[in-house]
Amino acid sequence: MNAGSPVGEPNSGPSRPWRYALIAQRVWDGISDAPRDRAAVVVDGDRIETVASVEDLTPELPKLDLGDCTLMPALIDAHVHYSAVMGPAFLAAGVTTVRDVGNDLEWILMQRALNAAEPTRGPAIVCCGYLHEGPEAFWRHMARPNADAQALRASIRHHVMRGVDQIKLYDSLSLDLLGAGIDEAHRLNKCALAHVGLPTAEEAARAGLDEIQHLSRCDVAWKSATQQERDALIDVLIECGVVLTPTLALWDRLGRILDRSLHYDQRREWVHPTHLDMWNGYLTRFGPPEERLSYQEPGPHQKRFLLRAHERGVVIGLGSDTPFPHLVPGFSLHDELAMYVDAGIRPVDALRSATSTNARVLGIESRVGRLTAGLTADLIAVRGNPLSRIDDVSQITHVIRMGCLLDRQEMLHAVQATFAEQPDDAITNDLLDYAHHRLKTQ
């Protein structure tokens, strides 16, 4: 795939950046409650120069009028296990930044560098390296065991020395080990996020955890509960400043893994055949119905808890947990947005979670997530107005990555060009091991 192209012709030679304007019926900055009517975003090279009135644009400036579209910041997926075969799919779905929350350390650092050098190869990557486990690790390729607190601290120091952005702690850690991991991450000025397993969410929050994934151990979110019971946990989350990234679509897909409608999702054309095979062999497909019902039944309770947490001011991130079953890279983030709105969250607030809020949670708010001068020119144009109808976010007409206008057909060809080869990365190998009963703890 080529490096993308600017809109119009560059106004100078190849050694200087191009400058152009994108005009849309609505321009949303990633923060405001409403979009700005009939406005323009001026792009200079790979940066946003300004958001301006159409009348203020000079005649000689190259322009692309997008018509009845909403121009907005590109999306950010805050929970991904990345495979290189996903890169163009994320971009086609308007997701230009992802946070990888568990992967082979050296491999994901290399992918981060490759995507930074060639932006149309895939999204920008914020990475955590390996999942930090307790004495035994469930996932063989994307996790590493730590026998004790000393080993855990040493592993975290190594990760930070190698250049990870944040630290991911995993569910076999006892409260003491979790606390040691949080302490070491904070000592090195890194955010600590976790899939909490053994401690409760309240205990993890009071230990200093910055972010909880999957609503893990937020026990009142998984069952019928009173407002008072929900608020008791939310009080602790607010007091401790804990972020929630719920991944509702993950639990929905695991509960509905046999749902035939998911097998006819046309977006599966973006999914590598090896990942489709893994989805078809995922073990919960073959277990008793009670196992699948255990994922289905909490759905309404999770949404009620999420809405209450949002209303009370808990910071809510947004992530997909791609590539677990039926989570199409990039496009599953649109599904997660729809589930937030189904929970009662306003579309504009859900979209904030996927843009400016996610940027803040990932520590990259000075680079992406908003349409403001000086930030990276990562933008999407969608037909309609997703701030009033969230489904419109799927109607993507243009993706701009670091100032380059991408071609959707080229992105599809780039994805499908990988289909002849077996991906060899941590998430693919781990999920294949799971599907084929090769994990020793199964």
Q: What is the pLDDT of residues 372-396, one digit of tens each?
A: 999 999 999 999 999 999 999 999 9
Positions of the chain with pLDDT lower than 50, given as ranges: 1-3, 8-16, 441-442
Cα gap 131→184, rounded to integer Å: 15
| CATH number of the domain that residue 121 is part of | 3.20.20.140
Q: What is the DSSP letter of 43?
A: E
| Owner of token pair 């790979």 | 46
Q: What is the pLDDT of residue 11?
A: 36
Question: How many structural domains comprise the chain?
Answer: 1
Specify burial of residue 198 (Cβ count, 10 A radius: 0-12, 13-18, 19+): middle
Q: What is the pLDDT of residue 24?
A: 98
Count CB atoms within 10 A of the CB of residue 37.
9
Residue 299 domain-assigned?
yes
Residue 105 domain-assigned?
yes
C-alpha angle 399/401/407, rounded to 5°?
A: 45
Q: Show the domain range for 112.
A: 73-129+218-368
Cα gap 102→372, rounded to integer Å: 31
Sheet holding 124-127, edge to edge: 75-80, 95-100, 124-127
Q: Residue 34 corresponds to which tokens in the numbers above?
A: 């409403």
Residue 285 domain-assigned?
yes
Q: What is the pLDDT of residue 438?
A: 76
- Judge whether 300 and 308 are in contact, CB under 8 Å: no
Express each pLDDT in 265-277 by its tens digit: 999 999 999 999 9
φ and ψ at residue 79, rounded to 5 degrees: -150, 100
* 50 beta partners: 42
Q: What is the pLDDT of residue 187?
A: 98
Cα gap 47→60, rounded to integer Å: 19
Q: Which secondary structure element, helix H or strand E, spans residue 281, and what is its range?
A: helix 273-281
Residue 283 domain-assigned?
yes
pTM of the predicted protein model: 0.96
- Judge whether 67 and 40 are in contact, CB under 8 Å: no
Q: Residue 288 corresponds to which tokens in the numbers above?
A: 């008793």
For 91: left if phi > 0, alpha if psi spans -120 to 50, otherwise beta; the answer is alpha
Q: What is the pLDDT of residue 308?
A: 98
Residue 392 domain-assigned?
no
Q: What is the pLDDT of residue 334?
A: 98
Q: Residue 398 corresponds to which tokens in the numbers above?
A: 């243009």
Residue 86 domain-assigned?
yes
Count CB atoms within 10 A of the CB of residue 140.
15
Q: What is the pLDDT of residue 284?
A: 85
Residue 411 domain-assigned?
no
Beta strands in 139-208 (DSSP E): 143-144, 167-169, 192-194
Residue 342 domain-assigned?
yes
